[in-house]
Structure 1
Amino acid sequence: MSRKNVQHGSSDHLAPEDEEQLALVAWYYYHDGLTQGDIGDMLGISRIKVSRLLDRGRQSGIIQVNINSPYAGCFRQQRALIERFGLRDARVVPAFDKGDAGTRVAQAAAQLLMQELEPGELLAIGWGETVSKTLQQMTPLLTQGQLELVSLTGGVATYLNGSGFGKMSNIHLIPTPLRVSSSDFARALREEPFVRDIIDMALTSRVALVGVGSLSDEATLVRSDYCNRSELNLFRRQGAAGDILGFFYDAEGNVLPLDIHEHVVSVPLSSLASIDTVIGAAAGVEKADAILGAMRGRHINTLVTDQPTAEAILERSDP
């Protein structure tokens, strides 16, 4: 990685002799790697003056810093996403030809969570493939009891049990499917004291991790038999852009009045607002509209995605 690069430009605020000294200081610092103290000794000026010259050079545009790395574009996209959508944070992983994007986004989400969470803290988790992959990356924290999990929806036990986490005392799961056959049955399950306690516990979490579902025929809800393609086509015609926790919303993030929502055993999507940090982890250009809706509706305030998806989001939301 080329960490720094110096370019010369013009400034109306500097006398020629001052600009010459600034350029010399910048060359020694960025090109030759000398310390500010070394440069001050060479030029007979104080280290503080060297520091001020460098600051003035960056502010005036005489000094421009370029990062020659695949991550540079990601950093620009992260900043753009944060500023455009008022996010708390964003992480964008570079596009690579090899490797599964979902797995790499899950790795980034796990790293962010390990930075965000304190030992013994409670993490609320939603339903989805990327959430599952993220938890796989955090296996040591879970098996050593350094982290507690609580589910925001039913159905989470399906993939956690297969990972060997299901019977651990630090994991609290809603013991139902995500979707059940009738609205009456779903209502009864949500009112069961044990289920109610898990939902209440989830809403005490400071941090939540959720997946963002698309309306594609290969959506996880379809592959897991919670929805069929015909239903998704109907939801799409009714304006759905994506789903979180089994609740479908439109391009602006408004939850749609769909009958399926009465069949879901889940924390209501509107209740996520009570959780301080809600991280949405998702990859794939086909999910761009779903992620856009999630951010516009304030259902998530932190995003972890990959570079192609971030590019698509920013292009489709160009102000």
Structure 2
Amino acid sequence: MSEVEEGRAVVAVRGGSAHGPAHLVLTASVARRYYLDGRSKVEIAEEFALSRFKVARLLDDARSSGLVRIEIGHPGVIDVELSARLMETLGLQHCVVTDTPDDHPASLREHLGAAAAELLTELVTPDDVLGLSWARSVSAMATALQRLATVPVIQLTGALTRPGVDDSSIEVVRDVARVAGGPAYFFYAPMAVPDAATAQALRRQPEVARAFSRIGSVTRAVAGVGAWAPEQSTLYDATSEAERHELGRLGVTAEISGVLVDADGTPVASDLTERMIGITAEQMRAVPEVIAIVYGTAKVKAVLAAVRGGLVDSLVTHSTLAEALIREAGS
């Protein structure tokens, strides 16, 4: 067997044809010229004194008989095949799966942030309006982002400061807007407040109302997905034990930008919902594309809930979680 790697294509020419040796040698020679040497069918026809149609038939025979095998790969850390499988399995708009070890969460988050930054750079056009929710993965994306079309950037959730977290949704919006060179719509308010009356008053504040009035214009958004479990959601860790228990009793499985949903993706109404400062489930579903950056196999059911509920349309994740999602979706 002879192999050569040129960019994304690996071509192997090997024995095993059902034809006689002369035909085998001719077919292999034609295949080598075409796939490995980059010769045109016309050039090959002239060299071997064949018609172009004969060359085409030999190339077809080489592929169908297994004499030539073409494998599509990728020079980077993106698992192209797994990305396509997950996208098809979950019916996603876009999907990027990185082949990154998941034994170091900080490193994994950094790799996913870089992959999400590349995806956003590719997808966002000057006609878009970008919305950002806070999550550590979204913060990693903002750090990795080097260029972006000139678009408005809108804060979708209030700030949630926790131990070990050195930035907030405000800084993330500012950083991305600085790269994009467009206007930034941000506000100083927490993600959750003690009571519904305070939440209503804060939503009427000029800077909050200014940002929220533009949520309906958002065409692409980036968010994280949290599982309703310890250390799997920053919001979960910020709530009281009584609240966690009550929301668990109500069937909360996932949290996406402060929106609480059950295993089927149905929003769960609660006292906490009334106290949130951020995008609603209806508003999130109305965004044409919500890209979620997610890591950790503990979030399998949470991710599926977010997709089922129409709150997430595209994913940036890693191979271990992608394979687990495909298995769980299949079962």
Compute the TM-score of the two structures, normalised by the length of structure 2.
0.79
| Paired letter, 1:129 | R
**What is the aligned partner in structure 1 of residue 134 from structure 2?**
127
**What is the aligned partner in structure 2 of residue 241 from structure 1?**
253
Q: Confirm or deny that 1:102 pairs with 2:129.
A: no
Query: Offset of 1:190 from its aligned partner?
Result: 2.8
Distance (Å, rounded) in 2 between the aligned partners of 1:199 and 1:316: 36
Deviates more, 1:118-127 or 1:80-89: 118-127
CA contact (8 A) 1:77 1:92 kept: yes
Pick one of 54, 71, 75 that aligns with 1:66. Answer: 71
| Paired letter, 1:64 | R
Distance (Å, rounded) in 2 between the aligned partners of 1:88 and 1:175: 33
Deviates more, 1:100-109 or 1:1-10: 1-10
Q: Confirm or deny that 1:91 pairs with 2:91.
A: no
Query: Offset of 1:111 from its aligned partner?
Result: 0.4
Superposition map of 1:26-41 within 5 A: 26-30=31-35, 32-37=36-41, 38-41=43-46
**What is the aligned partner in structure 1 of residue 230 from structure 2?**
217
Query: Offset of 1:227 from its aligned partner?
Result: 2.1
Superposition map of 1:45-60 within 5 A: 45=50, 50=55, 54=59, 58=63
Distance (Å, rounded) in 1 between the aligned partners of 2:65 and 2:282: 46
**What is the aligned partner in structure 1 of residue 203 from structure 2?**
190
Q: Describe the shift of the 1:72–1:305 C-alpha distance in structure 2 as closer, same or farther (beyond 3 A).
A: closer
CA contact (8 A) 1:240 1:250 kept: yes
Q: Describe the shift of the 1:308–1:36 C-alpha distance in structure 2 as closer, same or farther (beyond 3 A).
A: same
Unaligned runs of 5+ in 2: 162-166
- The SS at the match of 1:64 is strand
Q: Confirm or deny that 1:154 pairs with 2:158.
A: yes
CA contact (8 A) 2:266 2:309 kept: yes
- The SS at the match of 2:130 is strand
Cα deviations across residues 152-182 of structure 1 (Å, max 9, x unaligned)? Answer: 1122795255579379772111331111111
Distance (Å, rounded) in 2 between the aligned partners of 1:35 and 1:229: 69
Query: Offset of 1:307 from its aligned partner?
Result: 0.8
Percent of pairs with identical residues: 26
Query: Offset of 1:289 from its aligned partner?
Result: 1.4
Distance (Å, rounded) in 2 between the aligned partners of 1:85 and 1:299: 13
| Paired letter, 1:200 | S
Distance (Å, rounded) in 2 between the aligned partners of 1:299 and 1:271: 9
Cα deviations across residues 31-80 of structure 1 (Å, max 9, x unaligned)? Answer: x4342344333323455764565467556766432346796982222111
Query: Offset of 1:231 from its aligned partner?
Result: 3.5
- Provide the aligned length of Structure 1 versus Structure 2: 312
| Paired letter, 1:172 | Y
- The SS at the match of 1:150 is strand
Query: Offset of 1:189 from its aligned partner?
Result: 2.6
| Paired letter, 2:129 | L
Q: Confirm or deny that 1:4 pairs with 2:13.
A: no
CA contact (8 A) 1:101 1:284 kept: no
Distance (Å, rounded) in 1 between the aligned partners of 2:50 and 2:246: 72
- The SS at the match of 2:174 is coil
**What is the aligned partner in structure 2 of residue 283 from structure 1?**
295
CA contact (8 A) 1:179 1:226 kept: no
CA contact (8 A) 2:100 2:111 kept: no
RMSD: 3.6
Q: Confirm or deny that 1:300 pairs with 2:306.
A: no
| Paired letter, 2:125 | E
Cα deviations across residues 112-147 of structure 1 (Å, max 9, x unaligned)? Answer: 000111248431111211111111122565xxx934
Cα deviations across residues 265-286 of structure 1 (Å, max 9, x unaligned)? Answer: 1121222232222111111111
Distance (Å, rounded) in 2 between the aligned partners of 1:115 and 1:275: 18
